[in-house]
Structure 1
Amino acid sequence: MSAHDHGHDDHDHAGHASERRLIWAAALTGGFMLAEVAGGLISGSLALLADAGHMFVDFAGLGLALFAMRLARRPADASRSYGYDRFQILVAYSNGLILFGIALFIVIEAWRRLSEPVVILGGPMLVVAIGGLLVNIAAFFVLHGGDKEDLNMRGALLHVMGDLLGSVAAIAASVVILTTGWTPIDPLLSVLVALLILGNAYGLVRDSGHILLEGTPKGVDSTAVGPHLSAEIEGVVDIHHVHVWSITPKRRAATLHARIAQDFEAAAVTRAIKRELSKRFSIDHVTVEIERGHCADAADDHAHHGHGHPHTA
C-alpha cells in the first residue's frame, strides 16, 4: 500500500470519527432544545428562549455539517475535479454568518426586554438552565476530541460553545432573579453571550472566507517558496508565477513556473520540486511548468501588470 493510500485511509478514518461525534452532538442538542423552548415559555426568560433558538440553529448547523462531511467523501468527477471537500468550507462560512444573525437577534430582543420588562419565573428557569448546561458540556466534549483543523468541526464546536455560554448566563440570571428579584439581569447577560458569540463567529468567517478566496495557507509565505526552491533544488535557475492556496485546511495546492538549466532532466527536477514542497510546506498537489528559456507568459506579464498576481524570482 502506498503512502498516498495510507493518507487516504487515515483521512477516511478521521472523517468517520468526526461524523460520529457530530451525530451525538446533534442528538443531544436537538433533544434538549425542546425542553428549553418549553422552559423559556413557562418562565418568561429571554436567556432561555435565546439559548433555545441558538440550539435550534445549532441543530440545523450540525445537520448541515454532517451532510457536508458525507458529501466530501464523494469522489472527484469531470464537473468537480477537486471533489466535494470545499463544500465543508462553504458550510463553515455559512455557520459563521448564522452565528452573526443569532447574536444580532439576541441583542435586539434584549433591548426590547429592557424597554418593556416582563415577569420571569426564576425557579423553572434555573432547572432548565442547569439541564441545558449539562447537555452542552456533554456535546462540547463529544466534539472537542474531533479534528482541530477541520473548519466544519470547528464551526460545530463554536455553535455548541455558544450554547454552553448561554446556559451559564441563564443559570447566573436565574440565581440573581431568585435572590434579588432584579429581572434586567436576564437580557443583560444575554447581550454578553451575544458579544462572545460574535467574536467566535468573526474568526470562523475570516478563516473560511480566506480559503474560499483562495488565500495563501496559514504558515506559508508565498514569496519565500521561489527562493527556497531555487536554493534547494539543483538545476533550478529561478521560480516564478507562484500561486499557493488551500482546498481545505489539510489540502494545499500550488502552481509555479520553474526555469531550469539546459543539461537537467525536466522530470527529475519536477519530482524534486514536488518532494520539497511536500516536505517543507506540506503542499501535496503541485503543478509545475518547466521552462528552459524565456517564460511562455512573458508577453502577458506586461499586459497584466498590477493585477495582483503573486510572483517570486
Structure 2
Amino acid sequence: MHGHGHAHGPGGHAGHSHGVAADADRRWLGAALGLIAVFMAAEVTVGVVAGSLALISDAAHMLTDAASIVLALVAMRLAARPARGGFTYGLKRAEILSAQANGLTLLMLGAWLAYEAVRRLVDPPRVAGGPMLATALVGIVVNVTAAWCISKANRTSLNIEGAYQHVLNDLFAFVGTAAAALVVVLTGFDRADPIATLVVVALMAKAGYGLLRDSGRIFLEAAPTDVDPDLLGDRLVARPDVVEVHDLHVWQITSGQAALSAHVLVETGGDCHAVRRDLERLLRHDYGITHTTLQVDHVPEQVLQVTLPGDRTAADGPGHCEAPHGPVHREEPHHH
C-alpha cells in the first residue's frame, strides 16, 4: 500500500493519500452497510410481529440508509474512473445522481409512512411494547456504530454526507421509537407508536429535501453556495490592467469541485499572460477554484471611443463576443 504513491512522480503524494483514503472510505462504508443490513432484516420481523409501525418506519428508513451507502459506494467507483470518450469530466456527477435518488426515496417512503401513521392514530391496533423497546434500544446502538463508521470516511463528498445524514436521522428516529415503546409499556397508550412514526417522517422529509436541493443546484449549474458570482466579477475587474469581464460562469462539477470560465478584456498595453496568472492566483487563493478557463484578449480599439451611457453598439462592435451571455463587469471610470 505504501509504495503505491511514489509511482506517480512529483504529484505522487496527493495520489497516494487519496488512493488510501478512498480505499479506507470504502471499508468504513462497507462496515456500516453490513451492520445496517443485518439489523434491518431483524427489525422488520419484530415490527410485523409486535405490530409496531414505528419499528417498520425505522426499518424503511434504514433501507434508505443501506441504499444510500450502496449508491455512495457505486458512485465512488464511477467517480474515480478517468475521463474518457464523451464523458470529458469522467463520471463525477454519479455521486450527485446518487444523492438525488436518495432524496427522492426518503420523500416517497415518508409520504407512505405518514399515511399509515394517520390511519393508526384514528384506529390504533395493539402494539407489543416489550419487543418494540428492546429492538429500538439495539437500533440506537447499531446506528451510533454505523454513524461512527461513516464519520471516519471523507464527509466533504455530498454523497457520503448523504449517507451520514441518513444514519444520523435514523439515530434520532430510534430514540423517538424507544421513547414511544416506553410509553406503550408503562401506560398501554398505543397511539404513541404512530406519533413516533410521524416524528420519523418529519426527519425523513427534512433530509430528503436537503439532498434534493443541494443536488438540484449542481445539476442546474448554479454557483457553489459560498461564491457570489457578481462580487467575484467585480473583484476580477478591479485587478490591474483588467477593463472588462463577461461571460463569467461558475459552476460545480461535483460537490467540492468548482469550475470557472470567463472572457477577460485587458488594456491595450497590458500583458495578457500576466493578467491571466494574476486572476488564476486570486481565484485559487481566495475562492479555492483551481479549474479555471480564462480567455484573455486585448480591448478592441473601438471600445476606447467615447460612448454615451446606454449606447452599447460601439462597445459591442466587431472584435467583441457574438452574443454575450451573463452579466458584463466593466471597470469603473475612476480607475483610469
TM-score normalised by the chain length of structure 2: 0.85
1:10 and 1:197 map into 2 onto residues whose CA distance is 35
C-alpha distance in 2 between matches for 1:60 and 1:193:
18
What is the rounded CA distance, in whole Å, between the counterparts of 2:285 and 2:49 in structure 1? 60
State the alpha-carbon separation in 1 of the partners of residues 41 and 66 from structure 2: 11
Shift in Å, 1:141: 1.3
Give the Å deviation of 1:122: 0.9
Residue 264 in structure 1 maps to residue 270 in structure 2? yes
Matched, 1:254 2:270: no
Post-superposition shift, 1:7? 4.1
CA deviation digits over 1:87-112, x for unaligned, max 9? Answer: 10111121111111121121011012
Task: State the match for 2:174 in structure 1.
Answer: 167
Mean Cα deviation higher: 32-41 or 265-274: 265-274
Per the alignment, in what secondary structure is the counterpart of residue 262 of structure 1? Answer: coil
Q: 1:196-224, CA deviations, whole angstroms, 9 ceiling, x for partnerless residues? A: 22122222211121111111112111112
CA distance in 1, matches of 2:216, 2:15: 26
1:290 deviates by 1.5
Matches within 5 A, 1:53-68: 53-68=60-75
Q: Is structure 2 residue 317 aligned with structure 1 residue 300?
A: no
Cα 1:179–1:245 shift into 2, 3 Å: same
The two structures have a TM-score, normalised by structure 1, of: 0.91
1: distance between equivalents of 2:92 and 2:60?
A: 29
Structure 1, residues 29-64: CA drift from partner, whole Å, max 9, x if none?
A: 101011101111221111111111221222122111
Contact 2:57 2:200 survives alignment (8 Å): no
Q: In 2, distance between residues paired with 1:19 and 1:205? A: 24
Among candidates 69, 88, 91, match of residue 98 of structure 2:
91
Which residue in the other structure is 1:282 paired with? 288
Taking structure 1 as reference, are residues 128 and 14 closer, same or farther at Cα in structure 2, changes over 3 Å only? same
Q: How does 1:11-160 map to 2 (within 5 A)?
A: 11-160=18-167
Larger Rg over CA atoms? 2
Partners of 1:226 and 1:238 within 8 A in 2: no
Provide Cα deviations, 1:126-172, integer angstroms capped at 9, x if missing partner: 11111111101111111123333211011101211232122212211
Instruction: Tell me how large the CA RMSD over aligned residues is.
Output: 2.0
Partners of 1:136 and 1:268 lie apart in 2 by 54
Question: Do the aligned residues in 2 keep the contact of 1:137 with 1:164 (CA within 8 Å)?
Answer: yes
| d(CA) in 2 for partners of 1:212, 1:78 | 21
SS at match of 1:142: helix
Q: How does 1:158-197 map to 2 (within 5 A)?
A: 158-197=165-204
Moved more, 125-134 or 140-149: 140-149
| Unaligned residue ranges in structure 2 (runs of 5+) | 1-7, 301-315, 331-336
Segments of 5+ residues of structure 1 without an aligned counterpart are: none
Residue 217 (structure 1) aligned to one of 214, 217, 224? 224
The range that moved more, 266-275 or 3-12, is: 3-12
Inter-CA distance 2–292: structure 2 relative to 1 (3 Å threshold): farther
CA distance in 2, matches of 1:195, 1:179: 26
Secondary structure of the structure 2 residue equivalent to 1:118: coil
Q: Secondary structure at the match of 2:124?
A: coil
Return the letter of the residue paired with 2:49.
I
Post-superposition Cα deviations, 1:153-198, rounded to whole Å, max 9, x if no partner, equal 1110121123212221221111111111110010011101211221
What is the CA distance between 1:82 and its match in structure 2?
0.9
Moved over 3 A (4+): 1-14, 294-299
Shift in alpha-carbon separation, 1:8–1:265, aligned structure 2, 3 A: farther
Q: Percent identity?
A: 38
Structure 1 residue 282, shift from structure 2 partner: 0.9
Does the aligned pair in 1 maintain the 2:264–2:295 contact within 8 Å?
Answer: yes
Residue type at the aligned position of 2:185? L
CA distance in 2, matches of 1:64, 1:43: 31
Aligned counterparts of 1:291 and 1:2: Cα–Cα separation in 2: 35
